[in-house]
Amino acid sequence: MGSEVLINVGAAETRVAIVLDGRLSELFLERNVDPGATARAGRAGHRLLGNIMLGRVQRVLPGMQAAFIDLGLDKAGFLAAREARCLADLPSFTEHPQPCISKCVREGEAIVVQVIKDPISDKGARLSANVTLPGRLVVLVPNQSGVALSRRIEDEAERARLKEVVEDIALNDPRAAKGAGYIVRTAALSATAEDIAADIARLGDDWRTIQARRNMAKLPATIYHDLDPVERTLRDGVDGDTTRVLIDDPDAFAQARAYAVRAMPEALPKIELFKGPGEIFDLFSIEAEMETLLLPRVKLPSGGWITLETTEALTAVDVNSGSYTDATGLEQTSLRTNTEAAAELGWQLRLRGIGGLIVIDFIHLNEPENIQQLLDVLTASVARDRVPTQILPMSAFGLVEMTRKRVREPLGKLLTEICHPCDGHGRIKTVVTVAGELMRRIEREAKARPGTKLAAYASPEVVRWVEAQGEGLVEHLRRRAAAGVRFESRAEFDRERFDVGADG
């Protein structure tokens, strides 16, 4: 199965779509600009996940087995004891799987931590003291020795080969970080020893740079930024099954090729600059599909549907057969609808970025073999997910509980917010989401009317957001073919309404 990667670099956000066999399989969105983001994230508003930071222990709470770390962000980061145990003076992790947090950190001390979960809603970033540095083929684990392998590498002979190669390089190559451990990634399958050694050498250089920055930094500080969205997509989303990588921005295209030269030269022929016609996401109608991802109901092939509702505690999924009736009876009607829902659910959870506890109310089944078939379909549906998942057996009430690691805000929360005029019973698109749509409309109009100065009309709050971004946003629009654009607020426009036309 071949996949294609589409990278849309807009004035307000970078969007990445991975298409598998013609269908949208994964979707990532990262805002490029946001008032105050530079102070919070340290670099152009990109996400914090993966960043390594030098912070100060603000509070140690033995009763919670956790500590709060001042990182200079809006909220203190959260460090659990299990993520801090590498700092404790213990004989081994096996004998002491979770020491008391007070044996790991002390109030007032400076420690190096890594963000393992972005701030979500009113919660601060989740942190780990056991930092990792991901490369193309391996992940460097500076505070822990040994070699581990991705569970997706299943061939025993290949596992043995890779482990031997990495152990030899770690022990004998002077460029490797001393005393560090490594996790071998799936991308290392069939990689040569020379390729792996080069990846380990790059990570060793990066780790020595981080150590030097840590010694010179003033608290609090970010001493390592993870790759930006374009390079990170190449590192984590491009493999041997990827047929092409399309990028619609010349600067991002050049950046991607430069990264490929350094880290993955075999991917260079796959990287292409998209020049039209139309917009890059038009190729697979991705804009329209993104709109459906904000709706709670998903149609199934047989005529049934699933409904996804997310609350603070969990996401509830209801399966409904609709008007579909199988000629062989109720059991087969339920089985077909349920298996269609289970197959679809893996796609929906990935695309919507839903994490945490998920409870699925399948249609009642009587036969144990049918229940097992349903669970097998659900397991296969989430198997390609990069985010860890866990599925429990069906309960006596016909419910299936599963968890999906929560690593980012769900798409619905990122693009929309609670509608206060309707007493919180609905959601509307955020100002930043509407501004992003407005930027894309301006780019479309600029390409359709080259050399024409444009006027953009929007609600006052959207125009205020645009003006707060300064000249950087306008300069991006000029690079994307806009001869010039003037923004004008219209008091009669609601938040989601805007218009773009020729100025004058």
pLDDT, tens digit, for every residue of 438-467?
999 998 888 888 888 899 999 999 999 998
- At residue 132, the pLDDT reads 94
- At residue 258, the pLDDT reads 95
The tokens describing 346, both together, are 């893996």
Rounded to whole angstroms, the Cα distance separating 392 from 384 reads 18
**Cβ(205)–Cβ(175) below 8 Å:** yes
Neighbour-count burial for 284-304, b at 16+ CB within 10 Å, e otherwise = bebeeebeebeeeebebebeb
Radius of gyration of the chain (CA): 25
Give, for 500, the enclosing helix (H) or strand (E): strand 498-502
CA nearest neighbour of 394 among 371, 376, 370: 371
Give residue 38's pLDDT band: very low, low, confident or very high (50, 70, 90). very low
Quick one: angle between helices 193-216 and 156-172, nearest 10? 50
Q: Which domains, from first to last, does the chain contain?
A: 3-32+228-288 (3.30.420.60), 47-128 (2.40.50.140), 133-220 (3.30.230.10), 295-411 (3.40.630), 430-502 (3.40.1260.20)
- Tokens 């249609």 sit on residue: 363
pLDDT tens track for 268-304:
999 999 998 889 999 999 999 999 999 999 999 988 9
Evaluate if residue 323 carries a pLDDT over 90: no
Rounded to whole angstroms, the Cα distance separating 198 from 210 reads 19
pLDDT tens track for 40-72:
444 444 578 899 999 999 999 999 999 999 999
- At residue 379, the pLDDT reads 95
- At residue 25, the pLDDT reads 93
Rounded to whole angstroms, the Cα distance separating 460 from 466 reads 10
**Cβ(51)–Cβ(484) below 8 Å:** no
Identify which has the larger pLDDT, 273 or 98.
273
Evaluate if residue 369 carries a pLDDT over 90: yes
Q: Fill in the amino acid letter for 385.
A: D
CA nearest neighbour of 403 among 344, 450, 349: 349
Give residue 473's pLDDT band: very low, low, confident or very high (50, 70, 90). confident
Return the SS3 of 361. Answer: strand
Cis check for the bond before 277: say yes or no (omega within 30 of 0): yes
**Cβ(462)–Cβ(498) below 8 Å:** yes
Give residue 212's pLDDT band: very low, low, confident or very high (50, 70, 90). very high
